[in-house]
Structures are given as structure tokens and as C-alpha cells.
A and B are shown apart, each in its own frame.
Chain A
Amino acid sequence: MNRTVLVGLCAITLGAFATLAQAETIRIANHGQAGINAMKSTVARIEKKYGITVEVVEYPSPDKDYMTKLLTELGAGNAPDIFSAPTTAYVADMVAAGYLAPITAEFKAWDGYANFYDVAKQLAVSPDGETYVMPFMLGIQEIYFRRDVLDKAGISTEQPKDWADLLARAAEIKEKTGAYGLLFPAGVSWGTGAFDEGFQHLLVGSKTPQLATEDGKLDLTGEGVKDVFGVYKELIDKDLMPTQPLLGPEPWVIPKYQMFPEGRLAATTCGSWCYIFDWGRESKNPIPDVEKAVGTWTIPGQTGGQYVLANLAAPWGVNSKAENLELAKKVLMEIGSVETQVSYAAQIGNIPASKAAAQDPEFQKLTELLPIHAAAENGVYLKQAAGFATVAEGVARATEALLRKETDAAGAQAILVDYAREILGEEAVK
């Protein structure tokens, strides 16, 4: 009997030691196969460097579904230690909810900090002045046009000078080739893309280029907002932009993966990844010699000027309720390394936020991204404020009404303002 008890006690003691000896685990949320692949080498490096286990928790792929699950878990207090937000627009609201731990001190003390583009550093600063996310990748969008189609029709491929010039070019394309002249993502099905990939690019070159006021409110009643909706309105009413596919459940598929490669759509906003994944070497429907056949314009301003709008692509942050905050912050700094940035650039096509990436041999192989990386130096950005995610949804609803020809520019602005007031309250909207 005594012997049995002794053996039992030994087993319990050994079990306890084994548990204690197990490596500490950091849980990372990730979604989309490309994102998971991009993090593989980083995960291995972190495990080796800190002697910990990194558990990658796979989340649903579409951004909306990912955010719903992540926010539900954050609200319930059982979210992973480290996670990303799909775009900058979500960050201020996540900070206001207390989900993110501040990393200002660690980020500034980190040896990679000095090499980051200013625009990335500024985009990472929240309205309260603290930094909560690692701004390691930039999303840079431009207008991509079919140079071959325009050349053949004798249409100028010069950079449009202003909005009027851009719209006139779109009309000329339609008239001479029959193809749609220009696409800006719009509608509810496109999700935050209506804002991130279209609306805000025009807004930064408008008469009222910012939405966030000094006191942290949202000013959606500016003349620029109405004028941006006016551009959509003109494109839609003159049939310069395809509208029917944008009302479907996957609105990007037909215009970007069918119409543009076939030359039935001659110009569209797109991100740096388009040369590689949408129409380039990784595409299922590639355009031959894509870098020659497809040219880029920066987004012109309303009355002139050129704007390279930068966004944070998948900014990563630390859960404020992470069990080991210090360790989680160290892991976050590893995610910000040039190696991870280059891995993301190769897998997803976003632009590294570090200037040092330009010297990385692996990044130099991504010839399509090099000029865009250099242009990030002059990137402009929208100042962040709580409620940007709501604005993005409001823009989606307003542009959907335009797509359905149910309203005009002023009506679309009213839809946006009403939606923001309804969701955020009167006090949050100027």
C-alpha cells in the first residue's frame, strides 16, 4: 500500500516538474494562407531566440469575419496574445476599447525604429499620442492602367493633372475603346475596401483632406467629402465604371480578375500587390509582360498635385490582457524585423515600412515593389480617430446607394453622416 502511494506521489511530482519545464507559449492570431506562410520563418526564429512555443491560431480569412471573431474574443477576454488588424481604420477603436497594450517606449527603444518611414511611425500613433501597433507594412495604392490598350487607341498615358483630367481620360477611354475607363471600389460587399482602396485616396487630394478634427471628432460634412462622392457619381452616371459586378457578393472578382486582364476595364485603383498577385507572376489570369502592359498613375488632387496615400497593412499589436506582456512585446518587435517585412512583401505584396528593406537581397528580387517602396518616402496619410471603422462602413453604404443610382453626391454624404451619427452618437461627429 505504502509503495503504491509512494509511486503515485513520484508520478505527480514528475508531472508537475514536466509542466513547469514546458516552454512558455505565446498565441498569435493569423488569417489567410499567405499571411500564415509569411510568418512561418518569423515564428521559427522567435521560438529559437526566446525558447518559447509560438502557437499560431488560424482565423477566418475574410477581413470582416476575422474582425468579428477577434473582437468577440477580445471582448470575452480570451483572445490570443498578439494579433493584427486588417487596416489602420480599426486601430483607434481597438485602443478606445482597451484591447491593445501601449508599446511606445519599446518601439522607440527598438533598434529597427530609426529606419522606419516617418509616415509609418505617424500612422501608428493613436489619437492619445501613444503607439499601440507595429507599423511594419504599408499598403500603397495607385491607379493601374492598361498602357497597351491606351497606346493602341491613341490615348495619352501621361499622369492626369487633376480630377477633371482623370475623369476626361476615363471618358476618352470609354469613347475610343468601349472599355470602362476607371474603377474605384464601392459598395457594401467590398467592405472596408470602399474606403481604404478608393474613397480616402481621393479625399486626401480634396478641399477638405482630413476627417479627424483637432478635438478627436469626425468631420464628415466637409466639401471634399461631397466632391469625392461627386467623382463616383460622374463615373457611374456616365457608365465609365462597371457597377453591376460591384453589387454582387465578391465584387472584385469580375472587374479585377476578368475585365482588367481582358482589357474591358482600362484603369483601376489597386495596391502594390497587383503587379504580382492580381495580374503578374502569381496570378491565375496573368497579363503578359505586365510591367510594360500595365502602367501606374498616382492619384491626382482635386485641383492638382499628386498623392501617394499610405495605409498600415495588417498592423500587429499586443493584447492588453496577454499573460506575459513583456514577452509579447518582444515577440512583436521580432515581427517588425526587416526579415518578416520582406517575407510579407514576397507573400502578400505589401510594402515594407523600413527603409532598410531596400538593401535586403531578397527584397531586391521583388523588382515590381522597389519603385513603390521608394515612393513611400513621400507618402501622405489620414489622421486617425476613433470611429474610422464606422466611417469605412458608412462610405460603403453611401457608395452602394450611388451604384444603385438612388442618390446624388449630397445624398451620399448625408447617408455617411447619418450612419456615423447613428452608430457613434451625435457627440462623436462634428
Chain B
Amino acid sequence: MVRSTYEKRVARQLLLILSPSLLLLLAFVIYPAVYSVYLSFTNEALTGAAALNPRFVGLRNYSRLLHDAKFWNSLLVTFFFVVGSAIIGQFVLGLISAILLRRNLAFKQLFSSIILLPNAAPEVVAGFMWISMLAGGENATLSRIVMFFGMTPTDWLQTFPLTMIIVVNTWRGIATAMILLTAGLSTIPSEVYEAARMDGANPSQIFRRITLPLMMPTILLYMLISAVSTIAVFGLVYALTRGGPGGATEVISIYIYNQSFTAFQLGYGAAVAVVALAISLVLGIAYVRAMKVQL
């Protein structure tokens, strides 16, 4: 089929309009990603002899990964972190908040402000704020609360480090979950609920049989965004624990940073980053397929 001159002109114009974005994507997303893949096949380092003469090492970094107990530990920690904070914590609390905000609650504005507030504080500031609340000793906020109930205070970030970073990340992510799920809830026509009520459905049945199924595309979209962005969380965990104690909170982003900028092994760090990217891609594909099935 021969395209008309008009169509060709429109295509050229579209390309022209999109070219700045394409160039930016190429420069700041595609090129660094491709370069990271290249780095992962070298022994490039920030210091030592490898910084002067980096060598191509083939799959050595990847084979090292397979035998690196700390890498597997970081994957396991990341799994618990994503499941605990994104899949369970943020989703459940975000959904509850979204449902509550659809009702005519007293202090609705105040409630939504409180939910949105965590996003107003920069990651590192939020991290330091939580450190002061979770620190050891009798003066820290949480210790004071548990002492009020006659319990023994502890250094929460040392005793329950993974649980604490899950709690903090949940606190920070509820707002995003709430906004997305509110949008999802608003797409369900009120007539459907009315019909269900007329048929005698109770609130639990309405939630399980109507709300959840009709919201499934939004939920899956949220799960995709949330899981991938939680895998990439760095600043909050770095400010809170720096991956410690003893690797208990060394999520994969912290592990990549530690390998690249504490051990100065850029090649190995890039290999871990490529694996993290692959995991995110697999997750993304799985969710997109699930969404297609739902749609």
C-alpha cells in the first residue's frame, strides 16, 4: 500500500516531535543500560590495577554471582522486602485507605493529608526521622511507647532490622497505592453496587465478588509498578541501616552500591545490576501477561 504524502508528512512531524524525548531516552536510559551490560563482562574497578587496565572477563562475574552467598542473601532480603512492604503492606493499607476515602468520613481531608504526608519528605530525611524514632535507648519514640505498656525497650533497627525497613517503606508507599487504587475504585459504576445490594449481597460478598474482580487490572498495574520500584529502593534503606546489621537489610540495590562504590568493583556491581534488571523485566512481563488475561 502506498502511503499518501499527507501520511508521510505526519509521520515525519511525529518523529520530529518525539525526537527530543527519544534522544533523552537514548542518552539517559538506553545507553547507560547497554553500557552496564558491557561493564558486567569486564573487571572494571574504581581503584587498583583493574582501574588502569580493565580486562574483558567474559562470564566470570556472572559465574562468581552464582557462588556468592551474599548475592543470594540480598535476593532473599529483597524478596521479603518487596513482598512485605509493596505486595502486602502498601497494597492492603492503600486499599483500605482508598475504600475509606470513598465514604463520607469525618476529617476526610485530614486523613488523606496524613496518608499523603510521607511523600512530602525526601527519602533520606524520612530515613533519619525514623532512625530517631527507632533508635536504642529509653529516649527513642518507639521505646517510650513500649515502655508505657511495661515492655522492655530495644534498638529496633538492630533487633528487627528487616521488619523495620518494611514498616518504614510501607509507611512511605501507602499514598501511591491509595491514589492508584482510588482511581481503580472510581471506574466501578455505582449501579453495579446498587444491583448487588438489591440482590441481597452483604459487604463482604460485594467486596469479594465485585470490587476485587473489577479492580483486578488496576491491582495488577499497581503490583507491577510497586514491585519494580521497591526492588529499586535505595535511599531509604541506605539512610536507615546501610544494609546492616550483618547484611540483614542488604537489599539488591544496596548490594549493587556496596560492590560498586564500597568495594569499588564496577564490573561485578554491573553484573548484579543486570541481574536485578532481568528480574524486574521478568516480573514486568509476568504482570503484563496477567493483565492481558484479566482484560
Contacts and interface: CB of A to CB of B under 8 A. Distances in A.
Given A68-B261, A189-B244, A401-B246, A97 B135 contact: no
A64 interface: yes
Interface string B40-51: 000001111101
B108 to A, nearest CB: 38
Given A64-B262, A248-B135, A248-B157, A97 B48 contact: yes
Interface residues of B, number: 25
Nearest to B244: A188
A400 B48 contact: no
A98 B53 CA distance: 10
Contact of B242 (A93, A189, A424): A189
Main secondary structure of the interface of A (DSSP, over half): helix
Contact of A97 (B51, B157, B261, B265): B51
A401 B244 CA distance: 11
Interface in A72-102: 72, 74-75, 90, 93-94, 96-99
Main secondary structure of the interface of B (DSSP, over half): loop
Contacts of A424: 48
A187 B67 CA distance: 24
A400 B250 CA distance: 14
Contacts, number: 75
A187 B158 CA distance: 13
Residue of B51, B68, B157, B265 with most partner-chain A CB within 10 A: B51
B35 to A, nearest CB: 13
Contact of A72 (B46, B68, B246): B46
A249 interface: yes
B52 A249 contact: no
A94 B46 CA distance: 9
Contacts of B244: 188-189, 247, 400
B263 A248 contact: no
Given A93-B47, A97-B52, A249-B131, A390 B242 contact: no
12 contacts: A90-B47, A93-B48, A97-B45, A97-B47, A188-B245, A188-B246, A244-B158, A247-B245, A248-B155, A248-B158, A390-B263, A401-B246
Given A386-B49, A404-B245, 13 more contacts: A71-B46, A72-B261, A97-B45, A97-B47, A97-B48, A98-B51, A99-B47, A188-B246, A189-B242, A247-B244, A249-B241, A400-B244, A404-B246
